[in-house]
């Protein structure tokens, strides 16, 4: 009895799994960034949105909070989260 597994079927399975992981990763990154976002009025925290394959925040001062200014230290919500991407991926894959 021969068993045949076309490589196309394996590739389709892998592609589906990668899309699922990509979506979950973006959602987890968004959650973690939101947790790290400082809250005064809540506008900045609620400004995080997923747009396609990107996490965006169109609140005008988001960049200043992330990277800091000469008057304020950077919070680095996105930067510190991206340093933990390996751990986030491990949680998703498990």
Contact call for residues 49 and 56 (beta carbons, < 8 A)? yes
- Give the mean pLDDT of 24-49: 96
Q: How confident is the model at residue 49 (pLDDT cuts 50, 70, 90)?
A: very high
- Give the mean pLDDT of 16-34: 92
Whether residue 16 has pLDDT greater than 90: no
Long-range CB pairs of 27-32 (<8 Å, 24+ gap) are 28/88, 28/91, 28/92, 29/55, 29/81, 29/82, 29/85, 29/88, 30/55, 32/81, 32/84, 32/88
Is 33 contained in some domain? yes
Structure token digits, residue 38 = 């400082």
Residue 65 lies in domain: 7-93
Q: What is the pLDDT of residue 60?
A: 97
Looking at the structure of the chain, the number of domains it has is: 1
Place of tokens 């919500």: 77
Is 71 contained in some domain? yes
Is 2 contained in some domain? no
Is 78 contained in some domain? yes
Is 67 contained in some domain? yes
- Give the mean pLDDT of 17-45: 94
- Give the mean pLDDT of 74-79: 96
């Amino acid at each position: 009895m021969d068993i045949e597994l076309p490589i196309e079927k394996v590739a389709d399975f892998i592609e589906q799994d990668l899309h699922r992981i990509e979506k979950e990763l973006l959602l987890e990154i968004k959650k973690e960034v939101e947790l790290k976002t400082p809250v005064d009025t809540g506008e900045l925290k609620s400004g995080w949105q997923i747009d396609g394959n990107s996490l965006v925040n169109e609140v005008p001062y988001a960049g200043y909070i992330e990277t800091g200014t000469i008057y304020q230290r950077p919070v680095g919500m996105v930067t510190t989260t991206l340093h933990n991407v390996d751990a986030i991926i491990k949680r998703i894959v498990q």
